[in-house]
Amino acid sequence: MACSFNTTCDGTAPTLTWVTPADEPPSASHSVTQQGDTLTYTSVLSLTPALKHHGQILTCRVTYPTVSSEQTLTLTVEYAPEISWDSGCTHTPESVTCVCAARCNPPGELTWRLPLANFSGNQTHGRLHIWQVASGHLVYGSLTLRGGEGREDVTAVCSVRNRHGEAMLMVYLATEGEDIYGRGKSESQRVIL
């Protein structure tokens, strides 16, 4: 990140400093260029932000002996989807519901991939009910399979994708008459691309 200050003053050079999140000590390089009577002081900050820094403020200050000025920047941290640890399936005697939750920035698109079709948004198809909502950096979706007659096994994949990548969670749903169960794959079996 960089900030620049222009001046036509030809005396004392200003001091440029950065105020950064408390756990990130600033590392900056400074330069000065001249074009005509105008001097441009530039400070370039080297910073490796983490998810916890999203929305935090950075301040670049220029200080002269009698006056100071500052520029503020808000950090925007983007990252690929990450499936939440609380994703998985629960069942009742009538249905099995699998939940898929992921954090990402920019917000991701959640798709349930089933053997015969892919589903997004809020839909009902026969015994399948698909629902999802996004709030800030969290996208949350559920897939419910209601009971019916005969045996049915369904493997579904929850895919959450944004421009930085894709994360997937595979779940297995099965019905046998009125007995329904679902199983989400363990963390080690989640596929992250």
Q: Establish whether domains 2-74 and 79-192 are of one fold.
A: yes
Most confident option among 43-52, 108-117, 150-159: 108-117
pLDDT digits (tens, 9 = 90+) for 171-193: 987 765 544 444 554 333 333 33
- What torsion do the CA atoms of 192, 134, 79, 74 make, to the nearest 10 degrees? -170
Tell me the CATH number for domain 2-74: 2.60.40.10
Taking Cα atoms as reference points, which of 74, 79, 50, 180 lies closest to residue 128? Answer: 180
Q: Which residue has the tokens 């400093």?
A: 17
What is the arithmetic mean of pLDDT over 31-54? 83
What is the arithmetic mean of pLDDT over 93-115? 91
What is the arithmetic mean of pLDDT over 118-137? 90
The confidence score (pLDDT) of residue 148 equals 64
Above 50 in pLDDT, residue 51? yes
| Cα within 13 Å of Cα(133), Cβ side | 1
State which CATH number among 3.30.1490.70, 2.60.40.10, 3.40.50.720, 3.30.420.610 fits the domain covering 79-192: 2.60.40.10
For the chain, domain boundaries = 2-74, 79-192
The confidence score (pLDDT) of residue 2 equals 82
pLDDT digits (tens, 9 = 90+) for 66-101: 888 888 888 888 999 999 998 998 888 888 899 999
The confidence score (pLDDT) of residue 130 equals 94
Residues 155 and 184: their CA atoms lie apart, in Å, by 10
Alpha-carbon distances of 73 from 27, 32, 43, rounded to whole Å: 16, 21, 13
